[in-house]
A and B are shown apart, each in its own frame.
Chain A
Amino acid sequence: MVPEINAWITIAPDDTVTIRVGQTELGTGTLTVNPMMVAEELQCDWKKVRAEYASANRDVKEKAPEWTLKIPGSGETDPGGAAPVELRGMDGVYRRMIIHSSGNVRESRYYLQQAGAEARERLLLAAATEWGVPVSELVAKDSIITHAKTKRRTTYGAIAAKAARTPLPDPSKIKIKTPDKYTLLGTEQKHFDVPLKVTGEAIYGIDVRLPGMLYAAARACPVWGGDVKSYNFEAIRNMPGVHSVVRLPFNALTKSANFLCGGAAVIADSWWRAKTALDAMPIEWDYGPAAAVTSASLYEDHVAAAKLPGEPKTNEGNVDEAMGRAAKVVEAVYSVPFSPRARMEPGNATVLVTDNRVDIWSGDQDPQGLLRRAAKLTGIAPENVYIHTTFQGGGYGSNGNGPQGEQAVVVANALRGRPVKTLWTREEDWGTGTRYRPMSICFFKAGLDAGGWPIAMEVRHATTWNLGDMGYRGLSAPPYFVPNYRLTLHSPKTHVPIGTRRGTGAAPNAFYMESFIDELAHVTGKDPYFYRRELLARNPAEPKQGIGGFAHRDDFLKALDMVAKMSGWGTPLPEGWARGIAIDDRRRPTRTTSTICAQVHTVEVTRRGQLKLHRVDVAFEQGFALMNPLSVRKQIEGQIAWGYDDTMYQATTLQDGRAVERNFDKFPVSRMNEYPKQINIAFLKTNRWITGAGEEAIPQIPPAILNAVFKITGKRFRSIPLKNHDLSWG
């Protein structure tokens, strides 16, 4: 057995350090940056570090050590501390394993650094004990421990077994490094998974193969809330390879992982045979109560909801009085459609259920949740459920948490003793397997004074996004100074499953606010960069008489100035070209944690209405430090394509209660030829920990592009995607 120093670290005699990672690698870099956070403190040789997944099963059985429960320092403005984390109740040894909300570094940095430091101290103590010298005289560097006075030297590999048996007298004394002491963190490190991903060796959930494995193709009622009335298995029983059929129950679980539609899965000896037979199996559906819903009918429901009083979220000053004395009133209605996360790998999981044990092979963003739900579905104790985490082909907002795994558990539970791989078709994944960023409509009304500055603003936001602060993040307290401001939320009903999506509520909300502010600048003949600047500068850092107040004002100004300078804001461009600007920090109303990101998009629109994004300049907050700046760069580069696709193409429309766009033909993803040729990314140092980097460059993209489009075409588009609009001009 390779000596285990603590739950995260094993060290082999040849000095190979294996670091366990609780968070699934879905392309954001967890498998590399989490070991970096441990290795920074461990002071081991980075070239000899390997990563492997931590076990969710162990997390059920073992409590978190006391020293990982304590947050060192306090708050996001303490370099020795940690941004506020959401670990309440997550007291298993690996704490919170779910990867969500750009939270991997934010939520795990402090205990991963502690884990590295704890192991380092034990290695040092073991060596000191062996040599009979004070531990304070020892130095650890690159997996080597030295004692200068006696010229003694050992390696981590040689002392690891002893360290594994050497507890620290007082682990609560562990201090983690502050960013000024980092040597590994903050440097660009290539990703451990890349070599595996260029040879085809990387195993994703879809690639798992087990002896005797059967394959399942599943189909749920295409209308959410519907169920199977009947199916005729006899009609397909004799097709090649067909094994059996399993009924997929309606609403078998609650909340985020429920099956919102009943269905059936056909089992065969290959997936293609299972799918072919499923396609041939007559199924009669009960479409349920929502079978007549369309995007148009839902839009009307939103409009109707917005006419009701709504739920007040912000009410500063006296909006009605100020609106009454405004020199000019501007109104605008913005909207976004439903859209799924649309990851590349269709939902799947391979499951083996026996009478006393469940094994699940899957790339799942929430291994702990999947484990608990598998236990519930099978009646087998959580201690006997094992998750074998694989790579995951994209996530973008919890796609890859239920119900792919849960559905696969239901199927395999019906075929106990046989491993079964359940795999969705692309259509199944995007049509019934995912959840959606919901449609929303935002009604703005602003009253401007004679100088063109807003003295009142009324925002009515109709959205079904009632998860936490999704509906008002970025809208409840705009960064700009508007002395009389009111936001109300209006919630129509929908049967469409709603979930988080990359960019969260900040994405549509920033599209609305950053477009409308641009409109106000243009209405009053002001440059949109300077207009934003002035409105920020007018906002006090602290609220005055309960009005306004924006603690990050100065950093916002810096980010705006930085991106304006980078992009050559104000310098001439060819005819048909323009720059658009936008800023957002994905700040939550109840928190100050943020990642400020300002962008300028340089866009061309031909007279015939062909859009080309030529260049993107990004000023991105780095806070005290970025852990692996290479991961962050790659994230930003990718988010540019992601936000562009939202702006240009992506929407799920509803017809007969169901999703129309279920594959790449109707739900386009842009290709190489549309990706901007010039990307400039610069990092802005600030004195706090940032929220994260997995989605913080998304919200700015639609408004920045549409602001540029307005400048070129004179057309103000207030809904995305642009494929629905005529961009021609002149």
Chain B
Amino acid sequence: MAFTLLVNGVQYGVDAEPETPLLWVLRDSIGLTGTKYGCGIGQCGACTVLIDGLAVRSCFLQASRAIGKKITTIEGLSTDGSHPVQLAWKEFDVPQCGYCQSGQILAAVALLEKQPKPTDADIDAQMTNACRCGTYHRIRQAIHRAAALRA
């Protein structure tokens, strides 16, 4: 094993070049495919994961840089879709194609950690992931709802 990563509370041994982007280690080495590939250049946010609670674009981070850190992917948010952000997402029926939504949800989780009662301006500033289906209207409503659910 070349190195180990702590993902969703589990230590995984990884056999990959340490400079491999974290995204591909998560998806292909560890098999957590909820984290998506959209651009590979840190632009779209489909690959967003939490590293020590902060939203990070995993396509743009060498896996070795995440050694010893706490990585959370969409699979680690809850075992049954019961995280307040997931509940709110279901209530507002947010996803269309859904491809960007793992990243959107983790970005929203990170936002609510920082700002438990975000304003529309906070949401505009922090939610910078692309959704080609254009689900922003519902994402905004769901974030406000998730804030209420957490309170």
Interface residues, chain A, CB within 8 Å of chain B?
26-28, 190-191, 193-204, 206-207, 209, 215, 240, 270-273, 342-346, 391-396, 423, 425-426, 630, 634-635, 637-642, 663-665, 669, 671-673, 675, 677, 679
Contacts and interface: CB of A to CB of B under 8 A. Distances in A.
Interface residues of B, number: 61
B43 interface: yes
A36 B28 CA distance: 37
Given A200-B74, A209-B33, A27 B133 contact: yes
Contacts of A394: 96-97, 99, 132-133
Given A194-B94, A664-B44, A679-B137, A393 B99 contact: yes
Contacts of B140: 672, 675
A639 B131 CA distance: 11
B35 A677 contact: no
A641 B137 CA distance: 10
Contacts of B101: 197-198
Given A270-B29, A665-B43, A637 B137 contact: yes
A199 B32 CA distance: 11
Contact of A673 (B73, B124, B138): B124
Interface string B61-78: 000000000000111011
Given A202-B98, A215-B28, A669-B131, 6 more contacts: A270-B24, A270-B28, A393-B97, A395-B97, A664-B38, A672-B139
23 contacts: A191-B95, A194-B94, A195-B90, A198-B81, A198-B101, A199-B81, A200-B75, A270-B20, A270-B28, A344-B38, A344-B130, A394-B96, A394-B99, A426-B39, A630-B93, A637-B137, A641-B136, A642-B134, A664-B39, A664-B43, A664-B44, A671-B136, A673-B128
Contacts of B112: none
Nearest to A616: B137
Contacts of B34: 199-201
A393 B100 CA distance: 8
B105 interface: yes
B95 A194 contact: yes
A240 B97 contact: no
A208 to B, nearest CB: 9
A190 B41 CA distance: 34
Contacts of B132: 342-344, 394, 396, 642, 669
B127 interface: yes
B4 to A, nearest CB: 17
Contacts of B125: 673
Interface in B43-59: 43-44, 46
A131 to B, nearest CB: 42
Contacts of A634: 93, 96, 135, 138
Which of A194, A392, A663 is packed against the most chain B CB atoms within 10 Å?
A194
Given A270-B28, A672-B124, A344 B40 contact: no
A638 B123 contact: no
Given A270-B16, A638-B133, A672-B140, A207 B33 contact: yes
Given A194-B94, A200-B75, A672 B133 contact: no
Nearest to A392: B97
Contacts of A200: 32-35, 73-75, 102
A345 B97 contact: yes
Which of B28, B46, B73, B89 is packed against the most chain A CB atoms within 10 Å?
B28
A191 B93 contact: yes
B127 A672 contact: yes
A204 B75 CA distance: 15
Contacts of B134: 637-642, 675
Contacts of B113: none
Given A641-B134, A664-B43, A671-B129, A272 B20 contact: yes
Contacts of B105: 198
A426 B86 contact: no
Nearest to B142: A198
Contacts of A215: 28
Contacts of B131: 344, 641, 669
Interface of B: 16-17, 20-21, 24, 27-29, 31-41, 43-44, 46, 73-75, 77-78, 80-81, 86, 89-90, 93-102, 105, 120, 123-125, 127-140
A199 B98 contact: no
A206 B44 CA distance: 17
Given A345-B36, A664-B43, A671 B128 contact: yes
A197 B46 CA distance: 13
A391 B98 contact: yes
Contacts of A635: 96
B43 A663 contact: yes
A632 to B, nearest CB: 12
A680 B29 CA distance: 46
Contacts of A194: 89-90, 93-95, 98
Contacts of A345: 36, 38, 97, 99
Contacts of A191: 93, 95
Contacts of A395: 97
A345 B133 CA distance: 11
Contacts of B128: 671-673
Contacts of B136: 641, 671-672, 675
Instruction: Sort A-B residue pairs by CB-CB distance and give the 3 closest, nearest first.
Output: A200-B34, A641-B134, A393-B99
A298 B96 CA distance: 36
A677 B89 CA distance: 18
Which of A193, A634, A635, A677 is packed against the most chain B CB atoms within 10 Å?
A634
Given A206-B33, A672-B140, A199 B99 contact: no
Contacts of B90: 190, 194-195, 198
Nearest to B74: A200
A639 B135 CA distance: 9
Contacts of A202: 98
A634 B89 CA distance: 13
A190 B93 contact: yes
A677 B99 CA distance: 23
Nearest to A348: B37
Nearest to B123: A672
Contacts of B46: 344
A191 B138 CA distance: 14
Nearest to A363: B97
A364 to B, nearest CB: 14
A646 B6 CA distance: 42
Nearest to B96: A27
A712 B105 CA distance: 38
Contacts of A201: 34
Given A642-B134, A663-B39, A197 B29 contact: no
Contact of B130 (A193, A637, A664): A664
Contacts of B75: 199-200
Nearest to A637: B137
A194 B94 CA distance: 7
B78 to A, nearest CB: 8
A270 B31 CA distance: 12
A344 B89 contact: no
Contacts of B124: 672-673
A271 B39 contact: no
A493 to B, nearest CB: 31
Nearest to B106: A200
Given A240-B17, A671-B127, A346 B37 contact: yes
Contacts of A270: 16, 20, 24, 28-29
Contact of B40 (A27, A199, A393, A425): A425
Given A200-B73, A637-B135, A28 B96 contact: yes
Nearest to A344: B99
Nearest to B44: A664
A206 B78 CA distance: 23
A612 to B, nearest CB: 11
A359 to B, nearest CB: 19
